[in-house]
Structure 1
Amino acid sequence: MKSETEHVPCVKVEKRSGEEIRRALKDRNLLRTDVKITSDDTFVYLPLIRALNETELREIGAAELITRDFAVLEQRKSIEDIVGFKPSYEVIGDIAVLTEMVNETKEQLVAQALMERHNNIKVVAKRLSPVEGVFRTRKLELIAGESRTETIHKEHGCTYKLDLEKVYFNPRLAGERNRVASQLDRSTEEEILDMFAGVGSFSIQLAKRAPQSHVIAIDINPDAIRYLEENIRLNRVSNIEAVEGDVKEIFWKFRNTADRIIMNLPKSAYVFLHEALSMLKPRGGIIHFYTMESDTSHEALLTKAQEKFMENVQELSEEFHLDSVEIRDARKVKAYAPYAYIIGIDAVIKIIGAK
């Protein structure tokens, strides 16, 4: 019997990015799961609930929107059908982490359902603490599967080895990392400084995207630096310098160095603006700044974030002889609580006398 087909919108993506973009679509409830994903020798075709706008395409890292015939799948039980509710979880490598509390009597049921429905999941864990301390780590408890918290995560053609209890890593920032990397190309020659690099989730993607550039990746967590150095080898990039240390104490080594700075420390990035401005080149440069803001209004949320950023930079204007500060883009990156979001700001800083 011939399978039923349906003509639906989809994104056409390179195979190496297929899983990351599939996950990004799923997180945004944009992926159709009742039709079969198809592929050819080069591309994967991911079916959509609806056609995406340009902003959504950019956020997930997909370039081409088309329509195509897909085979309609026979319906099978979802995890929600099996356990009676929709558990909240994220997948990093082959580890699924429950991100919200589940009744202990149902934890094993949820874990087994996840592993049965997703063959790639080998470990299921739950969060026991928020991200805490200067090393940005959290405690986990294993629920099912193999007894480990180390995994290998793949995203936009990059490979990251990491231990979820020893380092910080957020898979839901995949689209944002790709968005920043897409601002560069193979001809870009920049000095890029990642102030809170972790295992290299921004740094490695930027280094691969712009091999003529040089990336300085700083982190205070020695375990993060150890994994970063291993990830540099795994990804075969040679244009990254891994630096262990507190950026407050070592920033002077990189004074007047950077064309572009990544400040992915949403809870306290403002505390490090002085160091960031010190490390920009004498003519200025670009800062990718991340902060947290809350409001019920989308517009008010972005306005508050931009105004606070401008106020904090202007306080340092005289010391650093700033000529102009232009916010090129401000956007919601990720929700972290009801009406509360990580906000990303791209700012161009120019210094007096720069040409």
Structure 2
Amino acid sequence: MIAETERLPCVKAPKRSGEEIRQALNERKLLRTNAKITSDETSIYLPLIRALTDAEIREIGAADLTTRDFTILEHRKSIEDIVGFKPSYEVVGDIAVLTEAIDNRKEQLVAHALMNRHKNIKVVAKRISAVEGVFRTRKLEIIAGENRTETMHKENGCRYKLDLEKVYFNPRLAGERNRVAAQVARSSVKEEEVLDMFAGVGSFSIQVAIRAPQSHVTAIDINPDAIRYLHENIRLNRVSNIDAVEGDIREICGRFRNTADRIIMNLPKSAYLFLQEALSMLKPQGGILHFYDLEFAYPEEGEEKHDALERAITQAKEKLMVNLQGLGEEFRSVEILEARKVKAYAPYAYIIGIDARVKK
């Protein structure tokens, strides 16, 4: 039987960033999922349901658009087809985690459907607590598969060993991590000193270190398990330009005073509470802050969801500016370079990312 082919619009992406762009397209329902993704020696070709708008190109970072013949795949039953509804889940390594509660009677059905549909999934678990405490951990319950919560996750050419009950890790930030690493790689500062204030297992730090080998990264976290995995991930990824530091940033920031060209503040619920420490660690002339914030914005009467998102972005920018201004004369000026939605957190709740240049 001759396979059916169809000429489709597509994104041509370098292999190192192909997974990030694939996820971004899939999240926005722009990826043609019944067409087989193809590649050559350097690039991956991602089929689209339609041509992208200019705004989508900028948002996704898909610079190279073309057309190509793709093999059309036979229809395979989706998880929704199998179980009769669309369960919410995320995959970290070979572990699928249900992110929303479902009827207990259907948990096993969903778990086995996931494992049968995706042969790489060896464990299915569900969340049984929120993220708790300064270590940012949550409890899981195994539903099916192997009895473990440790896994190896691959992302943007990096490997991360981690335990989902002992450390915080969000697989949906792959695109953001790649974006920050790319900024460091093309920075005009030849040997950037990057400080990751809430580094976890190194999800930002390792990608920065690999993409910008001329840089040096200081990766700090208060969770000893996160630091233990960070040391292991440094070895796994064979990077030597990272220092892993265990400690409370409020207590140890003095060790890094006036040292950083760039600071990553990936703690959306409370990063604004640590701006004084961040400013103290920027070099005397200042530097770049990657500031993350959680904002809620419910649509008002007659308002579109997009308008609510713009309001959330405005709220995040105001929070950053107000809290910086409250620090008095510790800086001269702030320029917001970019502010955008990183991901949806919940209905009408968004993680907002802001890149800001601070002059001290």
The aligned length equals 349
Shift of 1:181: 1.1
* CA distance in structure 1 between the partners assigned to 2:261 and 2:211 by the alignment: 16
* CA distance in structure 2 between the partners assigned to 1:186 and 1:286 by the alignment: 14
Q: Relative to 1, partners in 2 of residues 1:184 and 1:67: Cα closer, same or farther, differing over 3 Å?
A: same
Shift of 1:273: 0.6
* CA distance in structure 2 between the partners assigned to 1:193 and 1:54 by the alignment: 33
Partner residue, 1:293? 295
Does structure 1 conserve the Cα–Cα contact (< 8 Å) formed by 2:185 and 2:208? no
Does structure 2 conserve the Cα–Cα contact (< 8 Å) formed by 1:135 and 1:167? yes
Q: Relative to 1, partners in 2 of residues 1:162 and 1:14: Cα closer, same or farther, differing over 3 Å?
A: same
Residues 203-226 of structure 1 show CA distances to partners (whole Å, capped at 9, x for unaligned) of 011111111111000000000000
Does structure 2 conserve the Cα–Cα contact (< 8 Å) formed by 1:61 and 1:175? no
Q: Relative to 1, partners in 2 of residues 1:54 and 1:148: Cα closer, same or farther, differing over 3 Å?
A: farther
* CA distance in structure 2 between the partners assigned to 1:234 and 1:54 by the alignment: 38
Shift of 1:5: 1.4
SS at match of 1:228: helix
215, 218, 221: which one aligns with 1:216: 218
- 5+ long unaligned stretches in structure 1: none
Residues 226-250 of structure 1 show CA distances to partners (whole Å, capped at 9, x for unaligned) of 0000000111110000000000100
- The 10-residue stretch of structure 1 (224-233 or 49-58) with the greater mean CA deviation from structure 2: 49-58
SS at match of 1:310: helix
Shift of 1:190: 0.8
* CA distance in structure 1 between the partners assigned to 2:54 and 2:225 by the alignment: 38
Partner residue, 1:204? 206
- The 10-residue stretch of structure 1 (48-57 or 156-165) with the greater mean CA deviation from structure 2: 48-57
Answer yes or no: is 1:309 the counterpart of 2:333.
Answer: no
Aligned pairs for 1:165-244 (under 5 A) are: 165-185=165-185, 188-244=190-246
| Sequence identity (%) | 76
* CA distance in structure 1 between the partners assigned to 2:21 and 2:94 by the alignment: 17
SS at match of 1:183: helix
Shift of 1:41: 3.2
* CA distance in structure 1 between the partners assigned to 2:55 and 2:278 by the alignment: 28
Shift of 1:14: 3.5
Partner residue, 2:13? 13
Does structure 2 conserve the Cα–Cα contact (< 8 Å) formed by 1:59 and 1:176? no
328, 334, 350: which one aligns with 2:343: 334
Q: TM-score, normalised by structure 2?
A: 0.93
Shift of 1:50: 2.5
Answer yes or no: is 1:345 the counterpart of 2:354.
Answer: yes
RMSD: 1.6
* CA distance in structure 1 between the partners assigned to 2:352 and 2:194 by the alignment: 21
Shift of 1:2: 2.2
- The 10-residue stretch of structure 1 (30-39 or 53-62) with the greater mean CA deviation from structure 2: 53-62
Q: Relative to 1, partners in 2 of residues 1:60 and 1:120: Cα closer, same or farther, differing over 3 Å?
A: farther
Aligned pairs for 1:56-67 (under 5 A) are: 56-57=56-57, 59-60=59-60, 62-67=62-67
SS at match of 2:320: helix
* CA distance in structure 2 between the partners assigned to 1:250 and 1:119 by the alignment: 45
Partner residue, 2:302? none
* CA distance in structure 2 between the partners assigned to 1:4 and 1:105 by the alignment: 40
SS at match of 1:345: strand
Partner residue, 1:110? 110
Does structure 2 conserve the Cα–Cα contact (< 8 Å) formed by 1:58 and 1:179? no
Residues 308-336 of structure 1 show CA distances to partners (whole Å, capped at 9, x for unaligned) of 11011011132x1x221101111011111
* CA distance in structure 2 between the partners assigned to 1:115 and 1:105 by the alignment: 17
Does structure 2 conserve the Cα–Cα contact (< 8 Å) formed by 1:128 and 1:140? yes
Shift of 1:132: 1.1
Does structure 2 conserve the Cα–Cα contact (< 8 Å) formed by 1:196 and 1:219? yes
- Amino acid of the structure 1 residue aligned with 2:315: K
SS at match of 2:112: helix
Answer yes or no: is 1:277 the counterpart of 2:288.
Answer: no
Shift of 1:18: 3.7
SS at match of 2:199: coil
* CA distance in structure 1 between the partners assigned to 2:57 and 2:147 by the alignment: 38
Q: Relative to 1, partners in 2 of residues 1:201 and 1:190: Cα closer, same or farther, differing over 3 Å?
A: same
Residues 61-102 of structure 1 show CA distances to partners (whole Å, capped at 9, x for unaligned) of 554222111111221211101100000000111111111111
Q: Relative to 1, partners in 2 of residues 1:183 and 1:333: Cα closer, same or farther, differing over 3 Å?
A: same
- Amino acid of the structure 2 residue aligned with 1:257: T
* CA distance in structure 2 between the partners assigned to 1:120 and 1:40 by the alignment: 24
- 5+ long unaligned stretches in structure 2: 300-307
Q: Relative to 1, partners in 2 of residues 1:317 and 1:54: Cα closer, same or farther, differing over 3 Å?
A: farther
* CA distance in structure 2 between the partners assigned to 1:58 and 1:213 by the alignment: 26
Does structure 1 conserve the Cα–Cα contact (< 8 Å) formed by 2:260 and 2:287? yes
